[in-house]
Amino acid sequence: MALQELIKPFMDYFAHRRESLTRLLESEAVDAFLITNPINVTYLTGFSGDSSYLILSKTRAILVSDARYTEQIGEECPGLEVHIRPHDQSIQKVATDLLDKLGFHRVGFESGQLSVADLETLVGLVPRIAWKPGRDRVESLRLVKDASEVAQIREAITIAEKAFAMFRAMLRPSDSEKDLSDDMEWYVRRAGGRSTSFRTIVAVGERAALPHAPPTSRSVGNAELLLVDWGAVGRFYNCDLTRVFADRRISPKLEQVYGVVLRAQQKALGAIRPGVKARDVDAEARAVIGEAGFGQFFGHGLGHGIGLQIHEAPAIRQNSDAVLQAGMVFTIEPGAYLPGWGGVRIEDDVLVTPDGFEILTHVPKEPILRIGEW
Ligand code: ZN
Ligand code: ZN
């Protein structure tokens, strides 16, 4: 067998994802799906632009787009059928006409994504099309990452970790939270990222008691601790990390809280394997923090899936129904936030493997990082 033939199944991830989706056509009794969420269009085609719909049937996959993207689609989605709409016609009009022309009159739409107004437009255009709502069809596929996605998450992590090395090297006591947050954007881009995954959280001292502290003009000074929560987007995929720095002298309080949060994370990590309920992983961490007397200060879920979006399924929290499967990638980020004092969160990204888990992030967390050690 020629090499090309051997590697083909590994190369065409997008076709494979579309195939997984078309398997749902029959059970939903529809002729085609209309994919309107740009993130899901990217997942199914590799196209990085927006304002485009994907029509997907058993035998056809057609990207409906406009002339701005003709060349880009050729580069990003070689071999994909494309329908470029005339600039004086709306995407809804062109997509419904195409569905009608192809004889697709029972169409599944993304009810979690399409606005009520857009649906009204679609319904009014070709009355003989019956629209069938469906939630999370593509999102359910995105729950379990394929090898190409895991590789891209690893790439995003490499970028975020390079950026963090620059951040650490450049960190000065005179820097404000906002300076440091802005600097991280530059470091991530400099390290090859498209952008940070979200506005970097830099929280000094007692401001770290706010789990999602917006950066202020407060400077590092001689604060007891500094919390940094950051992530990078590679080409498409996100990552998410949190580390805490201590001043040269670590107070007994910080040592205690940090130790509890670290133990909680280790306990939760140890519970990760396929078949385990996400809520049970959350419970492991919550028990450690609760036993230490900080239960009321851990007010968020233990983690969230990462991928094309920074927050996606599965949710790793108390009320989650998710059951872990090999290929899921999510954060494990226990925390303890003590009003008036500060907070500690330690966040790593984890891949569920067939027999356990792999921590994808590598920035050291033991012992606690020190401000001024470079
Ligand atoms: Zn984070
Ligand atoms: Zn997170």
Per-residue pLDDT of 103-124, as tens digits, reads 999 999 999 999 999 999 999 9
Strand stretches in the chain, DSSP E: 32-35, 53-57, 61-65, 81-84, 106-110, 130-134, 195-196, 201-204, 225-230, 232-233, 241-246, 303-305, 312-316, 329-332, 335-338, 342-345, 348-353, 356-359, 369-370
pLDDT of residue 370: 85
For residues 194 and 236, what is the distance between their CA atoms, to the nearest angstrom?
8
For residues 341 and 315, what is the distance between their CA atoms, to the nearest angstrom?
29
pLDDT of residue 5: 53
Per-residue pLDDT of 253-298, as tens digits, reads 999 999 999 999 999 999 999 999 999 999 999 999 999 999 999 9
- Nearest Cα to Cα of residue 211 among 347, 348, 371: 347
Instruction: Give the ligand whose atoms come closest to the C-alpha of residue 310.
Output: 2
pLDDT of residue 144: 97
Instruction: Give the Å distance between the CA of 347 and the centre of ligand 2.
Output: 7
Instruction: Give the Å distance between the CA of 215 and the centre of ligand 1.
Output: 14
pLDDT of residue 2: 54
Q: Residues within 5 Å of ion ligand 1 by Cβ?
A: 229, 240, 242, 347
For residues 175 and 88, what is the distance between their CA atoms, to the nearest angstrom?
51
Instruction: State which CATH number among 3.40.50.720, 3.50.50.60, 3.40.350.10, 3.30.300.180 fits the domain covering 3-141.
Output: 3.40.350.10
- Is the CATH number of domain 147-369 3.40.190.10? no
Instruction: Give the Å distance between the CA of 241 and the centre of ligand 2.
Output: 7
Do residues 222 and 344 lie in contact, with contact meaning Cβ atoms separated by under 8 Å? no
277: Cα separation from own chain's centroid? 20
Q: With a cut of 50, which residues of the chain have pLDDT below it?
A: 3-4, 6-10, 374
- The three-state secondary structure class of 139 is helix
pLDDT of residue 222: 87
Mean pLDDT, rounded, of the chain: 94
Instruction: Give the Å distance between the CA of 332 and the centre of ligand 1.
Output: 9
Cβ neighbours of residue 95 closer than 8 Å, sequence gap 6 or more: 34, 53, 55, 64, 122
Instruction: Give the Å distance between the CA of 310 and the centre of ligand 2.
Output: 8
For residues 251 and 174, what is the distance between their CA atoms, to the nearest angstrom?
21
Instruction: Give the ligand whose atoms come closest to the C-alpha of residue 198.
Output: 1
Domain residue ranges of the chain, discontinuous segments joined by +? 3-141, 147-369
pLDDT of residue 373: 61
